[in-house]
Amino acid sequence: MAYLSIVALIPLAAVLFKSLDGGLDSFWTAISTPQAIAALCLTLIASVIVVLINAVTGTLIAWVLVRDEFRGKGFVNSLIDLPFALPTIVAGLTLLAFYGQDSPVGVNVAFTKVSVVLALLFVTLPFVVRAVQPVLLELDTEMEEAAESLGAGKFTVFRRIILPNLMPAIIAGGGLAFARAVGEFGSLVLITGNVPFDTQVASVFIFAQVESDNPIGAAAVSVVLLVVALVVLLFFGLLSKKALRHEE
Amino acid sequence: MRSKYTLRFLALGYLVLLVGIPVVLVFINAFQDGIAAAWGSVTTPEAQHAFYMTVVMVVVAVPLNTIFGVLCALAIVRQRFRGRALLNAMVDLPFAVSPVVVGLALLLVYGRRDGWIGEWLAERGIQVIFSTPGMILATMFVSLPFVVREVIPVLREIGTEQEQAAATLGAGRFQTFFRVTLPAIRWGVAYGVVLTTARALGEFGAVSVVSGKLSGRTETLPLFVENRYQRFDETAAYAASVVLALLALATLVAMNLIKPKEARG
């Protein structure tokens, strides 16, 4: 507990206190500057988009990895964890190599809002896949077969039988992905160009405030990010539990 | 049947476009001026020092977080005390915090001007921010939860029967831990250590805030990558990335070797 306090809790408390150094008014002023609002909005919107895309692609990938058989599946399966293992700055450089100015296929999204979403998709790839996979493995095919024998089409089986069973896992994975996306920094530094009012996300904004010696502004936006991440984790946790209960 | 191939094609296509091709391209870009140029750019004194700093981060942060992780998991699973649920929730906190916020937080405690105890430390000649201790603290912060998270389910799974048997046979607490508990959770610990190491090797955001980015002094390998790229030395940036990517691949291999053993117990 003491270790936890020294390493994590006391520093976080310091952020909270610093953000309130000048009273609530200056806290409010700090987070309502146009640049701070633009950065926070971009972060939240991009994160929502990323979670929605992940919910679809993550479920799809998990499905293919569990129900499909093909050569090299084991390799693909371990490839999923690569975004976790790869340092974030390398992740950014990696995407820049293919989707940047020197792109061999001429797709240049560097310094645009698309690049923000792209980088976040890369770093959050494993969350939904790894949450859905074990549930899909456990899922009995009997129910699906019963539904099919009763005349349900493939789509109906998926929508009425499989999806409700996977929902808690998709939501739980999505929550983790959202928390990660909101705070992401390393992979965005190189590819987004950090243009204020355009491609500057909240974490990069905080970094800029630290560099330009505005600790109160940095701390205030940090507190907003922290609260958003905690609320989302809590909310998605509850939602996932509710979906579980619904299933029973 | 056709829908099966469509799904496979979509899933694999997405992975290839998002992960596969970009990662391969980093390797190609690193060696575009030949292997000698790439090798030369990662063996400069700055690059070597960056590598050394990264090793320091791992060597200090990983053992400390491993010891803490095992003790913390034991406390959460085996003991009943007030605030246990709180501790359980708090351990995950570093996952919910942006790396930049971690850096800022350390700055506000240990920083010389803004920090709570920065001045006190400075008077005693201890510099935390813009030097190694601060970077180590940042690395410890971000890699804190991994071992705890991996060990808790294993501890729940093995139950207390064997430990109780050892205790009735006259084993002390330490003996029970080292002879019974630790061997049973070893693969869980190993998996946590691999994840901790991967994170410690690659941490960028938190370390970049507290390091001051002094080239050749407080620069780790990920910071070196950014620095080189910003200075248009792409070969060095890509070559150093390849070093980090190879370490990441080694992590993946280790994970795949440990996972089945962990499942078997």
Look at residue B253 and tell me whether its pLDDT is greater than 80: yes
What is the structure's pLDDT at B211? 85
pTM over 0.90? The answer is no
Residue A106 in contact with partner chain B when CB distance is under 8 A? no
- pLDDT, residue A51, reads 94
Residue type present at position B186: R
Q: Reduced to 3 states, what is the DSSP secondary structure of residue B170? A: coil
Q: Could you tell me the sign of the dihedral formed by the alpha carbons of B244, B246, B250, B252, in that order?
A: positive
- Average pLDDT of the segment spanning B101-128: 79
**CA separation for the pair A147, A160 (Å, rounded):** 9
pLDDT score of A55: 92
What integer pLDDT is reported at residue A112 of this predicted model?
81
- N residues, chain B: 265
Instruction: Name the residue with higher pLDDT: A217 or B263.
Output: A217
Average pLDDT, integer, range A182-198: 84
Q: Mean pLDDT, to the nearest integer, of B204-210? A: 87
The pLDDT value given to residue A50: 94
Residue B263 has pLDDT above 70, yes or no: no
A51 interfaces chain B, CB cutoff of 8 Å: no
Asked if the model's pLDDT at residue A48 lies above 90, the reply is yes
CA angle B259/B11/A150 to nearest 5° reads 95
pLDDT attached to residue B86: 76
Q: Which of residues 83-122 of B touch A (CB under 8 A)?
A: 83, 87, 90-91, 93-109, 114-116
Provide the 10 A C-beta neighbour count for residue B127.
15
* Tokens found for residue B142: 């971000």
Closest in B25, B98, B203 to A225, CB measured: B98
For the beta carbon of residue B129, count every other beta carbon within 10 angstroms: 28
A109 interaction partners in chain B (CB closer than 8 Å): none
pLDDT band at A246 (very low <50, low <70, confident <90, very high): low
- Tokens 């813009």 belong to B130
pLDDT of A99 > 80? The answer is yes
Contact assessment for residue A134 and residue A126, using Cβ atoms and an 8 Å cutoff: no
Nearest to B101 among A15, A83, A87 (CB): A15
Give the model's pLDDT for residue B60. 92
Mean pLDDT, chain B, as a whole number? 84
Residue B142 to residues A44, A139, B10, B191, B255, Cα–Cα distance (Å): 22, 35, 34, 17, 19
Packing angle between helix B21-30 and helix A88-99, nearest 10 degrees? 90
Flag if A182 and B107 touch (Cβ within 8 Å). Answer: no
CA-based nearest distance A222→chain B, Å: 6
**Mean pLDDT of all residues in B142-152:** 88
pLDDT band at residue B1 using 50, 70 and 90 as cut-offs = low
Residue in chain A nearest B135 by alpha carbon: A7
How distant, in Å, are the alpha carbons of A60, A63, A67, A80, B168 from that of A133? 10, 7, 10, 12, 42
How many whole angstroms separate alpha carbon B259 and alpha carbon B256?
5
pLDDT at B115 over 60: yes
3-class secondary-structure state, position B67: helix
pLDDT at A205: 87
Instruction: Write out pLDDT tens, residues A112-162.
Output: 888 889 999 999 998 999 889 888 888 878 888 888 888 887 888 888 888
The residue ranking higher by pLDDT, A4 or B77, is B77
Most confident of A1-5, A62-66, A152-156, B93-97: A62-66
Cβ(A83)–Cβ(A123) under 8 Å?
Answer: yes
> Per-residue pLDDT averaged across B41-54, rounded?
86
Beta carbons within 10 angstroms of residue B89's beta carbon: 12
Which of the four pLDDT bands, split at 50, 70 and 90, describes residue A27?
confident
**Residues of A whose CB is below 8 A from B144:** 4, 7-8
Q: What is the pLDDT of residue B63?
A: 92
Domain ranges of chain A: 10-247
Whole-number Å distance between alpha carbons of B58 and B69: 15
Cβ–Cβ contact A82 with B under 8 A: yes
Quote the ipTM score: 0.85
Higher pLDDT, B60 or A101: B60
Q: Tell me which amino acid residue A23 is.
A: G
DSSP codes, A163-187 = HHHHHHHHHHHHHHHHHHHHH--HH
Distance, in Å, from the CA atom of B233 to the CA atom of A243, rounded to the nearest integer, reads: 51
- Interface-testing mutation among B64, B71, B98, B220, with chain A (most A C-beta atoms within 10 A): B98
Identify the CA nearest to B148 among candidates B203, B93, B204, B105: B93
- DSSP string for residues in A102-155: T-TT----TTSHHHHHHHHHHHHHHHHHHHHHHHHHH--SHHHHHHHHTT--HH
Which residues have CB under 8 Å from B179's CB, separation 6+?
B166, B171
Identity of the residue numbered B36:
A
The CA distance from A69 to the nearest CA of chain B, in Å, is 9
Contact yes or no for A88 and B205 at CB 8 A: yes
The residue to which tokens 């205790």 are assigned: B167
- Residue ranges of B 147-166 with Cβ closer than 8 A to chain A: none
Question: How far is residue A134's CA from residue A129's CA, in Å, rounded to a whole number?
Answer: 9
Q: What pLDDT shows up at residue B264?
A: 57
Mutate to test the interface with B, among A65, A69, A90, A222 (most CBs of B within 10 A): A90
Average pLDDT, chain A: 84
Which of A5, A12, A124 to mutate to probe the B interface, most B CBs <10 Å?
A12
How much of chain A exceeds pLDDT 90, in percent?
11
Query: C-alpha angle A139/A140/A142, rounded to 5°?
Result: 150
The Cα A224–Cα A247 span in angstroms is 34
Look at residues B189, B197, B186 and name the one whose alpha carbon lies nearest to residue B142.
B197
Distances (CA, A) of B96 to A107, A157, A200, B40, B84: 33, 36, 20, 39, 19
Q: Which residues in chain A are closer than 8 Å to B102, comparing Cβ atoms?
A: 11
Task: Look at B22 and A97 and tell me if their CB atoms are within 8 Å.
Answer: yes
* Element housing A211 (H / E): helix A202-211
Reported as half-sphere exposure (CB side, CA atoms, 13 A), residue A11 has a value of 30
Q: Residue A100 gets which letter from DSSP?
A: S
**What type of residue sits at position A101?**
Q
Pairs of residues, one from chain A and one from chain B, whose beta carbons lie less than 8 Å apart: 223
Query: B215 and B46 in contact (C-beta within 8 Å)?
Result: yes
Kindly list the distances between the CA atom of residue B121 and the CA atoms of A7, B68, B126, in Å, as whole numbers in the listed order. 17, 25, 5
Quote the tokens at residue A167.
């929902």
Q: For the domain with range A10-247, which CATH number is right: 3.40.50.970, 1.10.3720.10, 1.10.510.10, 3.30.110.30?
A: 1.10.3720.10
pLDDT of A120 reads 92
Average pLDDT rounded to a whole number, residues B67-89: 82
A186 touches chain B (CB under 8 A): yes
The segment with the largest mean pLDDT, out of A45-59, B91-105, B162-176, is A45-59
pLDDT band at B132 (very low <50, low <70, confident <90, very high): confident
Which H or E element spans position A240? helix A215-247
- pLDDT surpasses 60 at B196: yes
CB of A221 closer than 8 Å to CB of A202: yes
Q: Is A70 exposed, middle or buried (0-12, 13-18, 19+ CB in 10 A)?
A: exposed
Report residue B62 as tokens: 């990983």
